[in-house]
Chain A
Amino acid sequence: DAKTTQPPSMDCAEGRAANLPCNHSTISGNEYVYWYRQIHSQGPQYIIHGLKNNETNEMASLIITEDRKSSTLILPHATLRDTAVYYCIVRVAGNTGKLIFGQGTTLQVKP
């Protein structure tokens, strides 16, 4: 699976949009981009995933560049409860695909 690069930490003001970048320049055509987050001492929580089109759900939006070499996770109105480690992972769909976690981005939402 392709490796991803994320900034180790970011701050965001409560109520503002949090934009978390991820580079995956060696991504293959059949690899999806997944985002998970882990709040302290809990299991990771699925946020969103996409292949090449932008995606939106009730939690976040995922913007994938046209060349698919990078993506941005957007939390539109960050709250204090969004403070967590955010992981960007690329994975092949189907039975052969595994989620391999990197170091992620620690997002601190401040009042």
Chain B
Amino acid sequence: GAVVSQHPSWVICKSGTSVKIECRSLDFQATTMFWYRQFPKQSLMLMATSNEGSKATYEQGVEKDKFLINHASLTLSTLTVTSAHPEDSSFYICSARATSGRARTDTQYFGPGTRLTVL
């Protein structure tokens, strides 16, 4: 149990294009999901918290108009990187905090990550 998937696992795009990353909790429901970014040899940095059916809360310094987050259901959140530039190249990881289903309640489970490369 407690599986979180991300799609795609890696993506290469041209500068100026937008990229959408999906995060799904497969066997549990999650009212709250989180998006992190990780640069090489660094720790995970929390970007935003999304609650199902409401607007995401962004951490200080994260541009909400650049990183669009939608959390339309209890099992799906999406992150769209708009007008991507090379400096947006990073490892993006989502997590879901279990509220019901086959997972330990209130525990965050992480997806495998999405490697974004912007040329």
**Chain B contact residues: over half helix, strand or loop, or mixed?**
strand
Q: Is B106 touching A94 in the complex (CB atoms < 8 A)?
A: yes
Q: Is B108 touching A46 in the complex (CB atoms < 8 A)?
A: yes
Contacts of B13 in A (CB 8 A): none
The total of chain A residues at the interface (CB under 8 A) is: 21
Q: Is A43 touching B113 in the complex (CB atoms < 8 A)?
A: yes
Q: Is A99 touching B109 in the complex (CB atoms < 8 A)?
A: no
Kindly provide the distance from the CB of B54 to the nearest chain A CB, expressed in whole angstroms: 12
Sorted from nearest, which 4 A-B pairs have the closest CB atoms? A43-B110, A101-B44, A44-B110, A101-B43
Instruction: Give bound CA distance, A36 to B36, whole Å.
Output: 15
**Chain A contact residues: over half helix, strand or loop, or mixed?**
loop
The total of chain B residues at the interface (CB under 8 A) is: 26
Q: Which B residues are closer than 8 A to A by beta carbons?
A: 2, 4, 6, 31-32, 34, 36, 43-46, 49, 51, 91, 93, 95, 104, 106-113, 115
Contacts of A30 in B (CB 8 A): none
Instruction: Give bound CA distance, A87 to B108, whole Å.
Output: 14
**Partner among A43, A49, A93, A104 whose Cβ is within 8 Å of the Cβ of B43:** A104
Contacts of A99 in B (CB 8 A): 34, 46, 95, 108
Contacts of A87 in B (CB 8 A): 43
B42 and chain A: residue at smallest CB distance? A103
